Amino acid sequence: MAEGLPLRVVDIYAGYGKLEILHGVNMYAEPGELVAIVGPNGSGKSTLLKTIMGFTSIYRGKIIIGDKDMTRTPPNKKPYHGVTYVPQVNNVFPSLSVEENLKIAGLVLRDTGKLKRKMEEVFDMFPVLRERRRQKAGTLSGGERQMLAIGRALMMEPRLMLLDEPTAALSPKVAEEVFRTIVQIAKSGITVVLVEQNAKRALEISDRGYIMVQGQVIYEGPSSEILSHPELGKLYLGLLK
Ligand SMILES: Nc1ncnc2c1ncn2[C@@H]1O[C@H](COP(=O)(O)OP(=O)(O)O)[C@@H](O)[C@H]1O
Ligand SMILES: [Mg+2]
């Protein structure tokens, strides 16, 4: 079992340059919890993940991961603290092979033996990547590429994983496979924060959810509660009841 890290986002104001996008966001995730962030396009979901990772300008508030204040920890240092991020796009190196993509991610481990074992674990999780290990990542299907991106994150022995729309542009069947994997990752003890366009499925598989609208959290609670709420889904998530 992985020892998941707790995450605390405390009253965060953040954005790009002088453009404030997040206006006082609070959220948390407990070790091994699967937390979904949903909400309309442009509401700041990706910006929240980027802020946790350290890619935005933070004007106020704190990001606490484990027992450390990581508000000012740069993105490239985060993996060494067990924090990994799978961005929505550009999450693999297209001109490198599947194996090379995994190897580069695994450099964070600073241990060749461990790197090899991790890679076998990733191949066990995604057998199709083993088959395609010598193939360039750019030639993979959308689903395979997303699996490789998640595999790259797993290579770093994460204790907190941030996923930005891992099922966007995938067929329902392949998306389901990716959702199953994400559930498995959280079950293994890793804390997972999942941003999703597919609010319904994200809420069905997660423990708790946050609805973001215009840079703020407008509702948080057990995912089942959000799903069964008489109005929230219809108002903000395009869910029909
Ligand atoms: N790099 C950027 N520079 C300036 N504004 C940005 C940048 N990225 C996103 N934004 C703006 O931030 C707001 C929130 O975007 P985003 O976090 O991507 O929303 P979501 O992921 O919920 O669709 C949008 O108004 C978007 O235009
Ligand atoms: Mg987004």
Q: What digits encode the pLDDT tens for the residues 135-191?
A: 999 999 999 999 999 999 999 999 999 999 999 989 999 999 999 999 999 999 999
Q: What is the pLDDT of residue 230?
A: 81
For the chain, the C-alpha Rg in angstroms (whole number) is 17
Q: Ligand 1, residues 16, 21, 210, 218: which to mutate, most atoms within 8 A of Cβ?
A: 21
- Is residue 80 lining ligand 1, measured as CB closer than 6 Å? no
pLDDT grade for 241, boundaries at 50, 70 and 90: low
pLDDT grade for 240, boundaries at 50, 70 and 90: low
Q: Give the per-residue SS3 of 164-229.
A: ECCCCCCCHHHHHHHHHHHHHHHHCCCEEEEECCCHHHHHHHCCEEEEEECCEEEEEEEHHHHHHC
- Cα 42 to averaged position of ligand 2 atoms, centre (Å): 7
The domain locations on the chain are: 7-89+146-236
Does position 55 have pLDDT exceeding 90, yes or no?
Answer: yes
The DSSP bridge pattern shows strands 34-38 and 208-213 to be: parallel
Does position 234 have pLDDT exceeding 90, yes or no?
Answer: no
- Is residue 162 lining ligand 1, measured as CB closer than 6 Å? no
Q: What is the pLDDT of residue 138?
A: 96
Ligand nearest to the CA of 15: 1
Please give the class, per CATH, of domain 7-89+146-236. Answer: alpha beta
Both tokens of 10, joined, read 């405390």
Atom of ligand 1 nearest to the CA of 48: 17
Nearest one of 11, 21, 15 to 214, comparing CA atoms = 21
pLDDT digits (tens, 9 = 90+) for 8-40: 999 999 999 999 999 999 999 999 999 999 999
- Is residue 21 lining ligand 1, measured as CB closer than 6 Å? yes
pLDDT digits (tens, 9 = 90+) for 63-112: 999 999 999 999 999 999 999 999 998 899 999 999 999 999 999 999 99
Q: Is residue 200 exposed (0-12), middle (13-18) or buried (19+ Cβ within 10 Å)?
A: middle
Does position 239 have pLDDT exceeding 80, yes or no?
Answer: no
Q: Is residue 25 exposed (0-12), middle (13-18) or buried (19+ Cβ within 10 Å)?
A: buried
Sign of torsion over alpha carbons 145, 131, 175, 122: negative
Atom of ligand 1 nearest to the CA of 47: 17
